[in-house]
């Protein structure tokens, strides 16, 4: 049997070439999510309505609004006035002060858009916005 001349190194080079293209940013029609109100240190400031229209998995976002309801141990319902979305906040990422449905917060995280589920936001940073 003849040994193939195609090596694992060749495959790695080909995959590397394609992966560069796959991570390019598209800014044409349909890219409304990436055209948020401004780029920040963690992600793009967007609205809940933007996310629900075009939920891009693992897209980093910054949201400002209110946690209006606790769903379970680490899930909350969040609104920014344009819609509501579920957010996941681990205890270590939750601010160390009381927060209620009237407290304005800034959440930084990434979109989690699993197949056959509603999108949610995995929060990595949270801060209270002073009144």
Q: Which domains does the chain have, with CATH numbers?
A: 32-128 (2.40.50.200)
- 99 burial (CB, 10 Å; 0-12 / 13-18 / 19+) is middle
Share of the chain above pLDDT 70, in %: 67
CB atoms within 10 A of CB 69: 13
Q: What is the mean pLDDT of residues 29-46?
A: 50
The contacts of residue 55 (CB under 8 Å, 6+ apart) are 33, 111, 113, 119
Residue 33 φ/ψ, nearest 5 degrees: -65, -40
Q: pLDDT tens digit string along 8-17?
A: 554 444 444 4
Can you state the percent helix, strand and coil of the chain, rounding each to 5? 20, 35, 45
């Amino acid at each position: 049997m003849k040994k193939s001349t195609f090596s694992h190194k060749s495959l790695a080079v080909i995959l590397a070439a394609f992966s560069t293209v796959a991570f390019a940013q598209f800014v044409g029609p349909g890219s409304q999510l990436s055209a948020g109100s401004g780029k920040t240190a963690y992600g793009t400031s967007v609205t809940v309505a933007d996310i629900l229209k075009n939920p891009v998995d693992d897209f980093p976002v910054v949201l400002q609004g209110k946690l209006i309801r606790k769903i379970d141990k680490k899930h909350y319902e969040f609104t920014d006035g344009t819609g509501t979305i579920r957010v996941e906040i681990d205890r270590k990422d939750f601010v160390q002060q009381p927060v209620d449905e009237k407290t304005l917060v800034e959440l930084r995280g990434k979109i989690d858009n699993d197949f056959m589920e509603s999108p949610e936001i995995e929060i990595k940073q949270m801060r209270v916005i002073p009144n």
